[in-house]
Amino acid sequence: MFETESQFIHHLQAGDPAAYETLIEQYADMVYRVAYRILQNEHDAEDALQETFLTVYRRIENFRGDAKFSSWLYRIATNAALDIIRTKQRKQGEQMSIDVMDDEENSLLIDDISLLPEQVLLRDETATELQQGLATLSPKLRTAFVLFELEGLSMRETAQTLEISESAAKLRVHRARIELQKWLIEQTKEVQI
């Protein structure tokens, strides 16, 4: 219906209902999936989905086309998901803020011995356990991992979406991989015990 992305954006900016119908049909699944991967909860993912589309509707006039539309959408969806986490943390009175994570990134330590598994077999039930492992990652690490590893964004796109440098994005993905691996090994040890 819309031949080019810029034409599509133009119609969105004009408030054309057909453009918004296309927006929902083409991008709602992707936004919901990424929100679910970050939030690990269907109800919260739906809230993030709705907030993302409302934000697009309210701010589309500000979109200049410097980045791909999908990257812009990923950024809005990611921020909507992180906002939900922040709100929850505030309600629960948690001191561990998403925003104080940068210090952790600078003091990355790798315990090489604990990361060399004897043999971790990924059984079917391990897949569900892994999802729990993903939930244990800090929101920043989880978001970087989700965008790069699960959504298949390039490292550059991941960095742009998170509005951080490429090296910082790389570090977050690396740390997330290691944390997940550690978690998996711990789970395997518990099963063996």
- Residues in touch with another protein (CB under 8 A): 15, 17, 20-21, 24-25, 28-29, 32-33, 36-37, 40, 42, 45-46, 49-50, 53-54, 57, 110, 112-113, 115-120, 122, 126-128, 130-131, 134, 146, 149-150, 155, 170, 173-174, 177-178, 180-181, 184
Nearer to another protein, 97 or 128 (CB): 128
Angle between helices 42-59 and 69-92 (to 10 degrees): 130
Q: Which of 164, 130, 126 is nearest to 144 (CA)?
A: 164
Nearer to another protein, 24 or 100 (CB): 24
**CB closer to another protein out of 25 and 99:** 25
Q: How far is the CB of 21 from another protein (least distance, A)?
A: 5
When the beta carbons of 37 and 140 are compared against another protein, the nearer one is 37
Question: Which amino acid would we find at residue 127?
Answer: A
Closest to another protein by CB, 83 vs 149, is: 149
Question: What's the alpha-carbon Rg for the chain, to the nearest Å?
Answer: 19
Instruction: From 191, 62, 54, 174, select the one nearest 118 (Cα to Cα).
Output: 191
Per-residue DSSP letter, 14: T
State the nearest-atom distance from the C-beta of 138 to another protein, in Å: 16
Length of the chain: 193
**Cβ proximity to another protein, 1 vs 127, nearer residue:** 127
Q: What is the closest distance, in whole angstroms, from the C-beta atom of residue 163 to another protein in the complex?
A: 20
User: In what helix (H) or strand (E) does residue 92 lie, and over which residues does it extend?
Assistant: helix 69-92
CB of residue 121 to another protein, shortest distance in Å: 9
- Three-class DSSP category at 9: helix
**Measured from the CB of residue 76, what is the shortest distance to another protein in angstroms?**
14
What one-letter code names the amino acid at 58? R
Residue 34 CA, distance from chain mean position: 6
Per-residue tokens: 33: 């999936």
DSSP secondary-structure letter at 137?
A: S
CB of residue 111 to another protein, shortest distance in Å? 9
